[in-house]
Structure 1
Amino acid sequence: MKVANKNIVVTGGGNGVGRELTLKLLSKGAKVIAIDVNQFALQETFRISGKNPNLLIRVLDITDKESVFNFAEEIVSSLGHIDGVINNAGIIQPFIDLKDLKFEQIDRIMNVNFFGTLYMTKAFLNHLLTRPEAHIVNVASMGGFFPFPGQNSYGASKAAVKLMTEGLYSELLGTNVHVSIVFPGGIATDIMKNSDITDKAASDSEKNSKLLLSPAAAASKIISGMEKNKYRLFVGKDSKIMNFMYGINAGFATRLIKRVMGSKMSMEA
């Protein structure tokens, strides 16, 4: 679906990839409704956009089902229609094993990553089916198709997004609604800070690492895939490589990432 002149909702629009998705969509002629739980971050996105009149910002907690459905009803009534939803918002967990993870931490991860995506999808789906063409993009993670050390519940939440979206793709075949699932690799964002794991933003050296995609590059790849109606998008060389390795030999890929990440965490400890 070409995004020009379309009304598109983006979750997590206050920072990182969500902000860059918002700015990229605006540059391509879309009207964007950026939502986030952080009002200050949304206002900053609006400022960076040059106070673009095609950008609407809304504070919304996507884990609140009633609020999500009320928002969907309000924005459709206000704008007349919505053509696309990009479910980008997500958080990670502290880098600890499942045995040490508290249930309240697990609940929060599942509520934001899976149920937030589910609520947004359900809230807009019937409306999207009335449009001449529409698109749902759900952002999972490479941690959603192979086990990443210290991110057990995060991976489970993103695996749930993966299977839910793949099932939705199957259900909507032959309809006017396109569905894409995105598997980003490492991206230089402040996701640890935004997930309340640390109060420190990522350093410049971390953000400039050659191993990480910039949020702007990731956003460009996601929107390009959306416009080409791609079903599965592996964003970043690491995501593509791990998908290939996991498909060839899942056990080897699991042991390899455990060894690499284990040594990295030991060095940082």
Structure 2
Amino acid sequence: MKNFENKVVVITGAGSGIGRALALAFQKAGAKLALNDNNEIALLETVALAGGPQNIYHQAFDVAEKSAFYEFADKVIAHYGRVDLVINNAGVAIFKLTASEVSIADYEWIMGINLWGMMYGSLAFLPHLRKQKESAIVNISSIFGILGFPNQAAYCTTKFAIRGFTESLAIEERVLKTGVTVTSVHPGGIKTNIARHARYAGNDENAIKQVERLFVTTPEKAAKAIIAGIKRKKMRLIVGPDAKMLYFLTRLSPKFVAWYLIRFANQWK
């Protein structure tokens, strides 16, 4: 997909961060937008920045709600008559808890948004995407979908699952020759509010700033890389210098990466 002029682009989690940056980039490229975020105020801010509510279909809802997501898909098709690109970007995090410290309720909460939200978005729009000669699904995983990270077992679980679902779907669509390109995106540290909005982050400003120091890539640069990956029909896309370094080291020496992560975890006790 080289040209986005008049293409219908769906983006979840568009109220801030990568989602907002993508919305603005696609608006500049001439796309027609259908935007979602659970935070209605943040969503309306993005809509205003991207051309105003008269030009953009938008709906605030929790992507973990299956019925709400499928209703959104129906309304997007009713509004625009088609869909060309779906970007499942909405996601949440849990702040610095080990696998055993995370409650089952919290596992269910993060799986509902990060994993099921992505699956609902992919599956609800897939039949409509297959009607186009060329279309795409882009699911935002993480470098934590490539390697397991200490104190992020719940988040990693969702991001590994996103990669597994997405790459399986990518192969299936190629086998079926549907014309749907499917991309799994793995950003490193992006300068967003995900740490501040993480469950249990609380008011621990020092800990939050420690995490945010690891965020090296702006949302705008991430959006630019994702759009370039869509154009090149990439199946797996690594975004950011930190992600690329960890990806390379994981493939080169898993033992070294494990040693490095143990040292990292010990410094954060």
What code does the residue aligned with 1:234 have? I
Which position in structure 1 is the counterpart of 2:244? Answer: 240
* Contact 1:144/1:158, CA 8 A, preserved across alignment: yes
Q: Match for residue 215 of structure 1?
A: 219
Letter in 2 for 1:198: A
Q: Is the 8 A contact 1:37 1:61 kept in 2?
A: yes
2:144 and 2:13 map into 1 onto residues whose CA distance is 19
Alignment of 1:49-64 (within 5 A): 49-51=50-52, 53-64=54-65
For 2:138, the equivalent position in structure 1 comes to: 137
Letter in 1 for 2:184: I
What is the CA–CA distance in structure 2 between the aligned matches of 1:94 and 1:201, rounded to whole Å?
10
Contact 1:87 1:120 in 2 (8 A): yes
2:222 is matched by which residue type in structure 1?
A
Counterpart mapping for 1:150-165 below 5 A: 150-165=151-166
Q: Does 1:195 align with 2:201?
A: no
For structure 1, which runs of at least 5 residues remain unmatched after alignment?
A: none
Q: Note the residue ranges of structure 2 that are not aligned, 5 or more in a row.
A: none
Identity of matched residues, %: 33
Please report how far the alpha carbon of residue 201 of structure 1 lies from its aligned counterpart in structure 2 after TM superposition: 11
State the alpha-carbon separation in 2 of the partners of residues 178 and 10 from structure 1: 16
Aligned-pair CA distance for 1:177:
0.6
TM superposition shift of 1:261: 4.3
Q: What secondary structure sits across from 1:233 in the alignment? A: strand
Contact 2:99–2:154, Cα closer than 8 Å, also in 1: yes
Cα distance in 2, alignment partners of residues 32 and 65 from structure 1: 21
Q: 2:178 and 2:11 mapped to 1: Cα distance?
A: 22
Give secondary structure in 1 for the equivalent of 2:132.
coil
In 2, Cα distance between the equivalents of 1:148 and 1:40?
32
CA-to-aligned-CA distance 1:143-163 (integer Å, 9 cap, x gap): 111111110011011100000
What corresponds to 1:21 in structure 2?
22
- Matched ranges for 1:1-269 at <5 A: 1=1, 2-51=3-52, 53-173=54-174, 174-198=177-201, 212-263=216-267, 265-266=268-269
RMSD: 2.2
- Contact 2:184–2:235 at 8 Å: present in 1 too? yes
The letter of the residue matching 2:257 is A
From the superposition, tell whether residues 27 and 199 of structure 1 become closer, same or farther in structure 2 (CA, over 3 Å): farther
Moved over 4 A (4+): 199-203, 205-211
**C-alpha distance in 2 between matches for 1:211 and 1:29:** 30
**In structure 2, what is the Cα distance between the partners aligned to 1:144 and 1:256?**
17
Query: Would you say how many aligned residue pairs link Structure 1 and Structure 2?
Result: 265
State the SS of the aligned residue for 1:86: strand
Counterpart contact for 1:8–1:83, Cα < 8 Å: yes
Cα-to-partner distance string for 1:213-238 (whole Å, 9 max, x where unaligned): 01111111111111221111100111
Relative to the length of structure 1, the TM-score reads 0.92
For residues 208 and 249 of structure 1, what CA distance do their matches in structure 2 show? Answer: 27
| Residues 166-194 of structure 1, C-alpha deviations (whole Å, 9 max, x = no match) | 00011000221111110000011101233
Q: CA deviation at 1:58?
A: 1.0
Q: Is the partner of 1:100 in helix, strand or coil?
A: coil
Deviates more, 1:81-90 or 1:53-62: 53-62
Say which SS state the counterpart of residue 149 (structure 2) adopts: coil
The 1-side partners of 2:173 and 2:216 are apart by: 33
Letter in 1 for 2:183: S
Relative to the length of structure 2, the TM-score reads 0.92
1:98 is paired with a residue of what secondary structure? Answer: coil
Q: Secondary structure at the match of 2:100?
A: helix
Instruction: Report SS of the residue matched to 2:52.
Output: coil
Q: Distance in 2 between matches of 1:247 and 1:227?
A: 26
Q: Deviations over 1:80-129 (max 9, x none)?
A: 00111001111111211111111111111111111110011110001110
